[in-house]
A and B are shown apart, each in its own frame.
Chain A
Amino acid sequence: MRREILITLPRYDDVTEYLSQFSQQIEDSAGEKGIKIKKLKDKEAKQKEFEEVINKLDCRMIVFNGHGSAEEIKGQKEIIVKLGVNDDLLRERIVYARSCHAASKLGKECTKNTKEGCFIGYDRPFQFYVDIQWLGNPLKDNIARLFLQSSNLVPVSIIKGNSTSDANENSKRNILKNINKVLRDLNAESFKIAEALWNNYEGQVLHGNPDVKL
C-alpha cells in the first residue's frame, strides 16, 4: 500500500460545493508534507473511477466528501462505495468520511477483523450551517468554516503524522473550542451553531485501529 491519499470532490449542490471547496486545506497539508494526493473531482467522483484508481494506486488513505447513509457514500450524484458491493476496497486503509451516517454500519463493517484499518466518520447526519450571502463564495463563509475546518482536522492531523485516535481527538477538541468561541460572541446565531457543532462532536466516531499512522 502506498503512502498516498485519494480524495473525492463531488460538486453538484450547495453541500458538495462547500465540502469540496473547504477540502483545499487538506490538499495543501498533503502538499506541505510531500504526500501525493489523487483527486476525483466532479464527474470523476463515480464508482467506476474510484474502483479503478484505488486498485491501481493502492492509496493508504481515503477521504470521502459527499452525501451518505448508513451503508453507502455518494460521489457525483451516484453511489461510490456501498456495503456488500465494494466496501472491501476500504479494508486495511485509513478512511475519513465526511458523510452522514456512514460510520454507523459501513465504517463498522469495513474495519471488522482488520489490523491496520481505521474509519473515522459520523454515526448520524453531519451538519453544518451556511450563511446565504456566501453561497456563491463558500470559502468566505465564516459560519461554515467553524464546521468544516474542525472536520478537516481529522485528515490534516493524520497527514501531519498523528495517529488516527489523536487526529479524531484533535478534531473533536477543535469543535468544542469553536462552540466556546460562538457562545462567547453571543448573538442570534450562537445557540443554533453550537447545537449543530455539538451534533458533529457527539456523532464523530472512530472504528478500527486507533493507533495507525499514515
Chain B
Amino acid sequence: MIEKNNEINEELKEVVIMRIDAIPSNLKLSIGNDKTLTKEEMIVHVEKGDETGKQIINSHLSFMKAIARGEFTKALASV
C-alpha cells in the first residue's frame, strides 16, 4: 500500500500525522508487536517511517480508501 519502493511519501506522512494529532489524549493504541502507543509515540513512529509507522500509515490509507470507494458506507448500511 505504501509506495512500491517501500518509501513513504512525505505528504502522506503529514496527512497521517495531522489525523493522529486529532486523537484524544486519553486513548492509547495497540498495533503490531509494540506496547500500547500514545499519539505522541505514534507520531514518532510515522516520522521515522519504521515498521510500526508503516503499519499506522497503511491503516489510515486503507480507511480513507474504503470511504472514498463507498465500501465503508455500504458495509455500515448492511447491518
Contacts and interface: CB of A to CB of B under 8 A. Distances in A.
Contacts of A129: 27-30
A213 B79 CA distance: 25
B76 A180 contact: yes
A132 B28 CA distance: 7
Interface in B24-79: 24, 26-33, 35-36, 55, 58-60, 62-63, 66, 72, 75-76, 78-79
Secondary structure call for the B interface? mixed
Given A177-B79, A192-B23, A130 B66 contact: no
Contact of A202 (B27, B36, B66): B66
A69 interface: yes
A189 interface: yes
Contact of A199 (B33, B62, B78): B62
Interface in A1-29: 13-15, 18
Interface residues of B, number: 25
Contact of B66 (A69, A192, A196, A198): A198
Contacts of A126: 30
Contacts of B75: 176, 201
User: Counting chain B CB atoms within 10 Å of each CB, which of A15, A67, A126, A128 scores highest?
Assistant: A15
A199 B28 contact: no
User: Counting chain A CB atoms within 10 Å of each CB, which of B23, B29, B30, B60 scores highest?
Assistant: B30
Contacts of A210: none
Contacts of A176: 75-76, 78-79
Interface in A164-180: 173, 176-177, 179-180
B23 A125 contact: no
Nearest to B71: A202
A153 interface: no
B27 A130 contact: yes
B50 to A, nearest CB: 14
A148 B1 CA distance: 26
B33 A67 contact: yes
B40 to A, nearest CB: 13
A132 B21 CA distance: 17
Nearest to B55: A125
Contacts of A191: 22
Which 9 A-B pairs have CB atoms at the shortest separation, nearest pair first?
A176-B79, A195-B63, A125-B32, A14-B36, A15-B30, A67-B33, A125-B31, A188-B24, A129-B27
Interface of B: 22-24, 26-33, 35-36, 55, 58-60, 62-63, 66, 72, 75-76, 78-79
